[in-house]
Structure 1
Amino acid sequence: MWRWEAEGQPKAVVAILHSAYENHRWYAWLIEKFRSAGFHVVMGDLPGHGDQAKYARYHEEDFKEYFTYTKILLKVALEYNLPLFIVGNGLGSTIAMQVLQKNKTECAGVILTSPWLHLKLTPGKLSNALSSFSAITSNVKLKHEINLQHFSRNTDVLMELKENLPLNSMVTVKWYREWQQLTRTFRDPEYKFPNIPLLVMTGENDKLTDISITKKWLLQQSLSEFHYKEWHGCLHSLYFELEREDVFQYTIDFINNVLRNLGYIIE
């Protein structure tokens, strides 16, 4: 877990959850933008990711490890005694949704980008069949045919990501089945997202997830305040995209509005 502190008096603290196959180094630009805008940032690598991924040929982490890690991340962020905002991307968004629903958290607002509620691009041609088989198949390896071009049209950013830790998108059937079970939770009519100010953003041309499912899920929630933004022409990872300055400003506007509603004076 790492902390980056704001320049000057902090307004709030932001906890960032990255997506599957990523690492915190990919978010250097976003971290610096938040710091410069007056926010402390707390972030780490999901279990099995980052430096841990150097020694693993595939992802087989138990999703409970992801949830435990996220609870620790939020606990660290709350130590600042500042309003907490959670930013999740891809699988990180989905993990945040589950942890917030299962655990009471003092959270001022949530920003979810491109949550993995329904994948258009799934791991392996046989993944749907294998995922329903017995435990015998749980260690079968599947290649999730994701490449950097699925994330962004920004060639400068793609070059930076390529120079970082490699993208390892090999998973086990067990890992994929756990993700499927998690998404079934969100389709359950009994699932209710906490009544926290929520911003959900997707890319119009996302090749990884079905954004119509995301929008449908959002409209089924009983929230006092929610915002949905579909970015024209964008792919999956909005904070890596050509429009990322605009995406960040939209994020900051949402956060500042929430802080004003909480009684904070925002300059």
Structure 2
Amino acid sequence: MWKWETEEHAKAVVVIIHSAFEHHRWYAWLIEKLRVEGYHVVMGDLPGHGEEGKYSRIHDETVNEYIKYIKNLMESALSYELPVYMIGHGLGGTLAVHYLKKNKVACAGVILSSPWFALQKHGSLIKSALANLGSLTSNMKLTLDINKKALTNNLQGYQEMDDNLVYKTNVTVSWYKEIQLIMKNLFVPSTSQLAIPILLMTAKQDKITDVEQARKWLLLQSSTEFQFKEWPLSYHNLFHDLEREQVFMYVRDFINNTTRGLGYIID
């Protein structure tokens, strides 16, 4: 993991969890924007991603591995003894919610960007095979139909994702089934629905996730402070797309207002 500390008087700490098949370098723009606004940032690469996954051909990590990684990020962020916020994008948003439901941790709020609560696209299998994933061997390979052109319609954002690390969307059946199970369980009524402040943002032009399911999930939560925003022009990756300056202002204002609500003085 890495830490980027603000040169200003720190207001809060932000933990960023990227989506599947990405890595932390894609988020240089967001990290710098947060630093300039007075936030420390803690981030790294999910297990099997970034340099760690450079020479592997397929994602077969377990959710437990991802959650252990998030726990380490949060422990590092909490050591600053400041309000801690989580930003989870795509699969990172799903994992953030899963972590917060399972762990009692001092999180001041969570920002979810195009979270994977339901996917429009599936692996390169015929529909009948998808309906019978249980009959497929766990180590069988699927290729998820998620290409970079579906992530952003912004040339600059696309160029920020164009690097020397191979973008691979190959996963095992066991990986896919476990992620699908987590998404399904997020909608099961329980006493562990989130009660912390939530900012949920979706993209109207998203070709990867079902944005209506994200809206439904938000209304199931027990939080008394939540916001929902659908960005009309953006594709899936809100922090890389055309409206990202406005998206960031929403994030900044949400963090500042929530931090004020905790009794902190924010300039």
Query: Which range, TM-score by smaller chain?
Result: over 0.9
Given that 2:10 and 2:40 are in contact with CA atoms closer than 8 Å, whether structure 1 keeps it comes out as yes
Matches for 1:3-82 after TM superposition, within 5 Å: 3-82=3-82
CA, structure 1 residues 35+260, in 2 after alignment: closer, same or farther (shift >3 Å)? same
Which of these residues, 128, 131, 139, is aligned with residue 129 of structure 1? 131
Distance 1:144 1:107 in 2: 32
Amino acid at match of 1:141: K
Distance 1:130 1:171 in 2: 17
Given that 1:131 and 1:176 are in contact with CA atoms closer than 8 Å, whether structure 2 keeps it comes out as no
Matched with 1:213 is 213
Deviation readout 1:141-180 (Å, 9 max, x if unpaired): 0111211111111112212211242211000101001011
Given that 2:10 and 2:38 are in contact with CA atoms closer than 8 Å, whether structure 1 keeps it comes out as yes
CA shift, 1:68, in A, is 0.7
Unaligned runs of 5+ in 1: none
Matched with 1:162 is 162
Deviation readout 1:101-125 (Å, 9 max, x if unpaired): 0000101111001110100011222
Matches for 1:141-220 after TM superposition, within 5 Å: 141-190=141-190, 192-220=192-220
1:86 match: secondary structure: strand
Amino acid at match of 1:222: S
CA shift, 1:259, in A, is 1.0
Given that 2:20 and 2:92 are in contact with CA atoms closer than 8 Å, whether structure 1 keeps it comes out as yes
Distance 1:164 1:119 in 2: 27
Given that 2:17 and 2:92 are in contact with CA atoms closer than 8 Å, whether structure 1 keeps it comes out as yes
1:181 match: secondary structure: helix
Distance 1:76 1:131 in 2: 38
Matched with 2:243 is 243
Distance 1:248 1:113 in 2: 11
Matched with 2:263 is 263
1:213 match: secondary structure: helix
Given that 2:198 and 2:227 are in contact with CA atoms closer than 8 Å, whether structure 1 keeps it comes out as yes
CA shift, 1:263, in A, is 1.2
Deviation readout 1:86-105 (Å, 9 max, x if unpaired): 00000000000011000001
Deviation readout 1:39-94 (Å, 9 max, x if unpaired): 00000000000001211101001111001111111011101111000000000000
Q: What is the TM-score with the length of structure 2 in the denominator?
A: 0.96
Q: What is the TM-score with the length of structure 1 in the denominator?
A: 0.96
Distance 1:167 1:160 in 2: 13
Given that 1:62 and 1:175 are in contact with CA atoms closer than 8 Å, whether structure 2 keeps it comes out as yes
Root-mean-square deviation over aligned CA pairs: 1.2
Does residue 96 of the first structure (1) align with residue 68 of the second (2)?
Answer: no
Distance 2:193 2:178 in 1: 20
Distance 1:72 1:191 in 2: 25
Distance 2:134 2:140 in 1: 12
Amino acid at match of 2:173: V
